[in-house]
Amino acid sequence: MCCMEHGDATGGYAATKDELLKRLSRAEGQVRGVARMIEEDRYCMDVLTQISAARAALDRVALGVLDEHVRHCVVGGHGPGSEEERIDELMAAVGRLAGRRA
């Protein structure tokens, strides 16, 4: 859980936790909907549209977590390591998120 693993009791996304959990619940519902659509042999383009919506919902969650990480752990200095190490970790995370769009 963000910086809590590294000894910071406040956690980086505590202020937005409820909103992130709501977004995750919506994404979970969308994924279940995709599974139902496949079970029901729904039109492929409709399934793909719903998959796209689910991915977008997860992207919003990821960006919310990333935003809090930058503000709290990187800029706020609550993450582990030096400033340079925190920046390297951030850039690796951004790279992983961007790489999903292949």
- Domains of the chain plus CATH, in order, are 16-99 (1.20.58.1000)
Given a contact cutoff of 8 angstroms between Cβ atoms, the answer to whether 13 and 64 are in contact is yes
CA distance 55 to 85: 29
Amino acid at 57: A
DSSP code of residue 97: H
Mean local confidence (pLDDT), 32-39: 97
Coil vs helix vs strand at 76 = coil
Mean local confidence (pLDDT), 14-20: 80
CA distance 41 to 21: 30
Per-residue pLDDT at 83: 87
More confident: 67 or 1: 67
Reported as a pLDDT band with limits 50, 70 and 90, residue 42 is very high
Query: What's the pTM?
Result: 0.74
Per-residue pLDDT at 9: 42
Mean local confidence (pLDDT), 58-69: 90
